[in-house]
Amino acid sequence: MWLALRPPSQGGGDSLMSAQIAAVGTTPTIPELFVGSLMQGTVSDARSVLRFVEDTDVDEPAATVLMAVRAVALRGTPPSPQLIHDELKRRGRFTRSTGVWLTSAVTSGACSSAAPAYAGALVSESLRSNVESFGHAMTSMSATASEADIVAVVERAAAGIRGIAARLTELRGESL
């Protein structure tokens, strides 16, 4: 559980949420916390971290919601929950699963100031997931695939993993 701080309207700190509060329901996932933090912050907060996170870093329905957050932020509008809901409907992408996921992100208890940390954790999960997927692909094809096919898969996977690692390194401001 997380420490709950009083919101500004009740004598708390800044005008934005400055600390994570207890989530409603189940323990939130990293993608839910990341998107939830973006919906609590400013458009500049969102833009500063969205350049490091790709929609492919998360699975559906998170990818669809993240796409909507990105679209709203790129238009220069703070990505509030209501505007994300509207963006999903406008694009014909609002479904039961995206609505449930959006609600989970909104009620995750995320704080806007932690968006870069959530982004780092999310991109790190993506890196590890891609390495795992690559390992499974190599294991399954190693005995039967042609050498040319193996080399092509290795090169494509290595390039993708290097790209994710480069984003993570820049986001965290450190080398891997």
Mean per-residue pLDDT pooled into runs of 10, the chain (176 residues): 47 55 78 97 95 97 98 97 98 98 95 96 97 92 92 94 97 85
50 with 69: CB under 8 angstroms?
A: yes
So what's the pLDDT on residue 53? 98
So what's the pLDDT on residue 175? 76
So what's the pLDDT on residue 1? 36
CATH of the domain spanning 8-172: 1.10.860.10
Report the alpha-carbon distance of residue 117 to residue 124 in Å, rounded.
11
So what's the pLDDT on residue 39? 97
The first and second tokens of residue 51, run together, are: 């350049």
Predicted TM-score (pTM) of the model is 0.82
35 with 105: CB under 8 angstroms?
A: yes
Alpha carbons within 13 A on the beta-carbon side of 169: 8
So what's the pLDDT on residue 3? 39
- Closest listed residue to residue 73, CA positions, set 89, 53, 56, 93: 53
* 150: number of Cβ within 10 Å: 15
Give counts: helices (H), strands (E), the chain: 7, 0
- The number of angstroms, rounded, from the C-alpha of 168 to the middle of its chain's C-alpha atoms is 13
150 with 142: CB under 8 angstroms?
A: yes
So what's the pLDDT on residue 134? 93
So what's the pLDDT on residue 72? 98
2 with 20: CB under 8 angstroms?
A: yes
Question: Cα torsion for 117, 105, 95, 127, to the nearest 10°?
Answer: 20
Phi, psi of 33 (to 5 degrees): -65, -40
Report the alpha-carbon distance of residue 159 to residue 155 in Å, rounded.
6
- Closest listed residue to residue 101, CA positions, set 31, 10, 2, 24: 31
